[in-house]
Amino acid sequence: MYARGLICRVCGKQSELAVRYYCDACFGPLEIDYDYAAIRKQVTRGHVAAGPDSIWRYGALLPVDRKPVDLGTGWTPLLRAERLGARLGLRNLWLKNDSVNPTFSFKDRNVSVAVNTALAYGYDTFACASTGNLAGSVAGFAARAGLKSYVFVPSDLEQNKLLSAAVYGATLVTIDGNYDAVNRLCTQIAEEYGWAFANINLRPFYSEGSKTVMFEIVEQLGWEPPDAVVVPMAGASLLTKMNKAMHELVKVGWLQSADTRLIGAQPEGCSPVVRAFASGSDDVSPVVPDTIAKSLAIGDPADGHFALRAIRDSNGTAGAASDAEIVEGIRLLAQTEGIFTETAGGTVVAVARRLREQGLLQQDERTVLCITGNGLKTPEALDGEIFSTIRLPRASLSAFEAVIEEQAA
């Protein structure tokens, strides 16, 4: 394994690889450090290409040192999107469709790493604080790995998100409060119980999984990084880790340079990072979320500070979309490209549209939209939407013909 230790993202203090998540000197978040020089010498693009059709083709840059428990996460389709591109005014548009992961969201990337960390360190219970997608993923992978699981979520989540965690046998703990309250409670529970919380005490390991979406995008484009990626932001870890991924690809010699613009997308009803970006601040002030995009409803994004830096350093930008625009984004993606995404994906489409209109995305930029989750988990977002249907009183050809003729008239 090339992972060689933990390093504090704030003060740089190094420590040995262990289940710890914040710096004992300054409380800064810890992340995994690798022996990049050794990877550069020993692992090539050719080795990657010969690897499995999953995130494990990038095993050199993941902190897992065992034959992984797996459900087939990653290596999801990167699709050219000409019809959506025509509607948005983007001539070189691609979609990274992570809604087809094993539990139907990008979180499987993180959880694939976290579950193997839990097993490596001998835990018997796997847990998380979640806005929904993570809960399903933790529950599914716990079942696969033979671990007990507890998932903690706000009680007002969409029904299918609750179901898609409970079905795997997890103990579902619903809490009357927003995600930030659930998260705070879970940091306390993680201190008192000897459980592996995927996104708390295993966080340095867990968050590494997010890098693989960027690795895949670059490899699927023939090792030509895109000009821009549009990424949904909740805790803002995904964007931050996609930035780490770009820099690692250069460090290990698989890319010459990393100059993809990182573009963050949030719903207007929970846009603390976008606000901080617009105001030029380095600090993200927490907000109380109010949006249909519940998977993005994190009012206190702990990685917001790092995401801001990554966006600015990459000459990127950030934008927000209203609930109505998010719903329109869901429809537009479904009706132009055949992908039914949840509210986070709708947010990405809607923000891309706005930024194009504002001239902040250029029509020729090679742009990738990260579609992170599946629309069947959030049907409530489409309540009240009207879709084209025909109701026939009986199974009669003439009745059908009458309706079609009427429509044509």
Partner 1 sequence: MAVTVRLPGQLRQWADGQKQVEVESASVGDALQNLCSRYPSVGERVLDEGGQRRRFVNVYVNGEDVRLLQDDSTPLRDGDEIIIAPAVAGG
Applying CB under 8 A, among 39, 62, 128, 332 the residue interacting with partner 1 is 128
Applying CB under 8 A, among 4, 5, 7, 10 the residue interacting with partner 1 is 10
- Which residues are registered as beta bridge partners of 171? 150
Least Cα distance to 147 among 129, 127, 131 occurs for 127
Stretch that binds partner 1, among 14-22, 88-96, 212-220, 347-355 (CB under 8 A): 14-22
Which residue, 22 or 223, has its beta carbon nearer to partner 1? 22
Tokens read off for 223: 């090792």
Applying CB under 8 A, among 74, 85, 235, 319 the residue interacting with partner 1 is 235
Sign of CA dihedral 329, 208, 100, 296: negative
Using the rule CB under 8 A, is 373 a contact of partner 1? no
Stretch that binds partner 1, among 215-223, 299-307, 313-321, 375-383 (CB under 8 A): 299-307
Which residue, 128 or 339, has its beta carbon nearer to partner 1? 128
CA gap 53, 35 in Å, rounded: 24
Give the contact letters, 34-73, x = binds to partner 1 (CB under 8 A), - = no. Answer: ----------------------------------------
Applying CB under 8 A, among 1, 12, 14, 24 the residue interacting with partner 1 is 24
3-state secondary structure of 44: coil
Using the rule CB under 8 A, is 28 a contact of partner 1? yes
Which residue, 66 or 184, has its beta carbon nearer to partner 1? 184
Using the rule CB under 8 A, is 376 a contact of partner 1? no
Applying CB under 8 A, among 237, 343, 347, 378 the residue interacting with partner 1 is 237
Which residue, 15 or 322, has its beta carbon nearer to partner 1? 15
DSSP symbols for 272-284: HHHHHHHHT-SSP
Starting at the edge strand found earlier in the chain, the sheet holding 228-232 runs 78-80, 92-97, 366-371, 228-232, 261-267, 317-321
Stretch that binds partner 1, among 18-26, 116-124, 341-349, 394-402 (CB under 8 A): 18-26
Using the rule CB under 8 A, is 298 a contact of partner 1? yes
CA gap 128, 153 in Å, rounded: 9
Using the rule CB under 8 A, is 129 a contact of partner 1? yes
Least Cα distance to 222 among 51, 60, 78, 95 occurs for 78
Least Cα distance to 112 among 150, 133, 142, 132 occurs for 142
Applying CB under 8 A, among 112, 207, 347, 378 the residue interacting with partner 1 is 207
User: Shortest distance, CB of residue 294 to partner 1, whole angstroms?
Assistant: 11
Using the rule CB under 8 A, is 290 a contact of partner 1? no
Contact (CB, 8 A) for 215 and 260: no
Residue 263's region, left for phi above 0, alpha for psi from -120 to 50, else beta, is beta
CA gap 273, 299 in Å, rounded: 9
Using the rule CB under 8 A, is 180 a contact of partner 1? yes
Amino acid, res. 256: Q
Using the rule CB under 8 A, is 166 a contact of partner 1? no
DSSP state of 223: S
Applying CB under 8 A, among 158, 300, 323, 342 the residue interacting with partner 1 is 300
Using the rule CB under 8 A, is 213 a contact of partner 1? no
Using the rule CB under 8 A, is 188 a contact of partner 1? yes
Using the rule CB under 8 A, is 354 a contact of partner 1? no
Using the rule CB under 8 A, is 314 a contact of partner 1? no
3-state secondary structure of 240: helix
Applying CB under 8 A, among 43, 90, 228, 234 the residue interacting with partner 1 is 234
CA gap 375, 98 in Å, rounded: 12
Applying CB under 8 A, among 208, 216, 219, 303 the residue interacting with partner 1 is 303
Tokens read off for 184: 């705070």
- Which residues are registered as beta bridge partners of 269? none
DSSP symbols for 309-358: HHHHHTT-EEEEE-HHHHHHHHHHHHHHHS--B-HHHHHHHHHHHHHHHT
Applying CB under 8 A, among 1, 14, 18, 25 the residue interacting with partner 1 is 25
Using the rule CB under 8 A, is 332 a contact of partner 1? no
The residue ranges that bind partner 1 (CB under 8 A) are: 10, 20-22, 24-29, 128-131, 134-135, 179-184, 187-188, 191, 199-200, 203, 207, 234-237, 283, 285-286, 288, 298, 300-303, 305
